A and B are shown apart, each in its own frame.
Chain A
Amino acid sequence: MTEAAEEPRSRRLRITFVAALGMLWIAAAAIACAAGPSVLHVNAYATDVAHAYDAPSRVHALGTDGLGRDELARLLQGGRITLSVGIVAALVSMFIGTVYGAVSGYYGAWLDTLLMRVVDVLLSIPTLFLLLLLAAMFHGSLLALMLVIGATSWLGPARLVRGEVLTLKERLFVEAARSIGAANSRIIFRHVVPNAAGTIVTTTTFMIASAMLAETALSYLGIGVRAPTPSWGNLLSSAQSDIFAGAWWLIGPPGLAILLSVCAFNFVGDWLREST
């Protein structure tokens, strides 16, 4: 935004190097995780106790874990889980945040005051506290995990969307829609919200990154994705104890996978923010 003053306009729409890298990584990771397990003929759940804690070799490119399961297979399968948790949770939080923020900003007056006070209240409780309580209560299915992460992270998006809607609702096209008798709900979701798409898409990207981090944090505490289902979070968390068994090769891959993927989504989000 600020850089634009010095540079020609065309430059703003060009993709930056890091954003391209980020997109490339996301695409590569998604394809590898989706197709990898079947292409490589590896199984993330097949145990082989005779080959527990095998160091990386030609048979097991990333070694095996304490039950002799192929780490590469678990990493790819875990990627499916972590990436889908990140994306679905982000979509849940954006859906709640967008509807809530748009309604609050559009109607304004006492409803806006009330709804924003509720956001203030929830923001006074550390997000991780809420996340912990809910995750401990509804510990179980993957869907519950996605919903819990989504349900605790919509406050930021709600505020952003509300701010955007506050300015958008004064625009001429809203008045035009109102003058031809469009209903409020139609104006909000057909006219106002699509015009906030830039903010919404950008925020979604950041929310995916933070939802992935939330999954790893919950898995570290043992209330995230349940074993034996692998996720990058619980692979990393079990790798911490595997280190004491001398299995140093287990700690790097899931950690790097999380770090690079979160970074990639943040890079893309940052570029989107700069170019809108």
Chain B
Amino acid sequence: MLQFVLRRLLLAIPTLIGVTIVTFVLLHLAPGGPALALAGEKATPQQVAIITHELGLDRPWPQQYAIWLSALLHGDLGFSYIRQQPVLALIAERLPQTLLLMGTAIAASIAVAVPLGVYQAYRRNSLFDRTASAAVFVAWSMPTFWFGTLLIAVFAVTLRWLPVGGLQTIDTTAFDWPSRFAHLTLPAATLAIVSMAGWSRYVRGSMVEQLREDYARTAVAKGLPQHRVLFRHTLRNAIIPFITLLGGTVPALFGGAVITEQIFAYPGMGQLFWQSATDRDYATLLGMTVITAVLVVLGNLMADVLYGVFDPRVRYD
């Protein structure tokens, strides 16, 4: 097991190096560049040239990349000249907010998707199943920002139950759970809608399959109560492939967070990424991509490890 984790971690290294190269090259293909963004629109070409030289942006790419990578290995993600802050500090400030948002969204998705999928599979082809399937399809096709806007229009503007956006009530400085939770509800619902739909479809499909298996029929035949067959027998088998799916959702959630955080003015990674992209803040963009890729790789690894925990038939060799 330990050996498996270690080997997977070793295999992750080339992937992460690949991510840094792709991002690095991509960012340097961009027209303009940070020097121009930093110097401002009115800067003379000479001023831009000076800044370019000071930032080392006039050196060849491989050299710039090597400098950046060796700093990274020393725990230095670079410095955002536009924000005048180390990239690591910027990310450290935003990452917990996004992880909280994503965690809430994942928890909400599972809490809805699993029971819904199980019940649909149990009552398959019933009116409820068909209606729910159609509703899930609509949710799956939802443009996220439209859904978010509708939520704001209904729950924040019309009913005034929940805040329009932000992290917590502006005039409170202390950490306030009820306020935080209220501010988290609408963004998390927006972020969760698509994964919720995808997952409930998946759980339904895989439960239907498991309920057809011989062991499920045997369990019913020997007189076990329905709920026991459903939750003790078939769900445990149906949920296993779902775990891999969960691990693979991390990048999509990070992507979804860009839109969601924009709608709700939620100060997380997504917002930082979008702001950095518009500011051409390359150092921050690079740092964020690397951190996100690390989280994605870890997410996949965790899914693989959990796979073995839930399915004792899996052996790591």
Contact = CB atoms under 8 A, between A and B. Distances in A.
A117 B143 contact: no
Contact of A137 (B23, B30, B144, B293): B30
Contacts of B289: 125, 129
A172 interface: no
A124 B251 contact: yes
Contacts of B146: 216, 236, 255, 258-259
Given A123-B251, A124-B19, A137-B31, A132 B277 contact: yes
B88 interface: no
B284 interface: no
Nearest to B300: A124
A118 interface: yes
A237 interface: yes
A159 to B, nearest CB: 11
B258 interface: yes
Given A136-B278, A221-B262, A126 B254 contact: yes
Given A5-B212, A132-B277, A259-B138, A124 B296 contact: yes
B15 A117 contact: yes
Contact of B258 (A5, A132, A255, A262): A132
B119 interface: no
Interface string A12-51: 0000001000000000000000000000000000000000
B278 A237 contact: no
A270 B134 CA distance: 12
A197 interface: no
B149 A240 contact: yes
Interface string B181-210: 000000000000000000000000100110
Interface string B254-276: 11101100100000000001100
Given A124-B15, A236-B143, A259-B141, A221 B30 contact: no
A121 B17 CA distance: 9
By secondary structure, the B interface counts as helix
A217 B144 contact: yes
B145 interface: yes
Interface residues of A, number: 42
Given A137-B30, A262-B141, A121 B15 contact: yes
B292 interface: yes
B15 A128 contact: no
Contact of A220 (B16, B150, B153, B259): B259
A141 interface: no
A267 interface: yes
By secondary structure, the A interface counts as helix
A181 B16 CA distance: 42
B69 interface: no
A11 to B, nearest CB: 13
A220 B138 CA distance: 20
Contact of A132 (B19, B212, B274): B274
Query: Chain B interface: which size bin?
Result: 35 or more
Contacts of B251: 123-127
A274 to B, nearest CB: 11
Contacts of A126: 251-252, 254-255, 292, 296
B235 interface: no
Contact of B254 (A129, A137, A262): A129
Interface in A87-145: 117-118, 120-134, 136-137
Contacts of B277: 132-133, 136
Indicate the member of A123, A127, A134, A236 with the most B CB atoms within 10 Å: A123
A270 B23 CA distance: 34
Nearest to A260: B141
A87 B145 CA distance: 22
A270 B14 CA distance: 36
Given A129-B292, A216-B145, A217-B145, A124 B256 contact: no
A94 B145 CA distance: 26
B65 interface: no
B30 A251 contact: no
Contacts of A259: 138, 141-143, 146
A241 B22 CA distance: 37
Nearest to B22: A121
B101 interface: no
A86 B289 CA distance: 27
Nearest to A123: B251
A120 B274 contact: no
B231 interface: no
5 contacts: A131-B255, A217-B144, A240-B149, A258-B146, A259-B141
Interface of A: 2, 5, 18, 117-118, 120-134, 136-137, 209, 213, 216-217, 220-221, 233, 236-237, 240, 243, 251, 255, 258-259, 262-263, 266-267, 270
Interface of B: 14-16, 18-19, 22-23, 26-27, 29-31, 134, 137-138, 140-146, 149-150, 153, 205, 208-209, 212, 251-252, 254-256, 258-259, 262, 273-274, 277-278, 285, 288-289, 292-293, 296-297
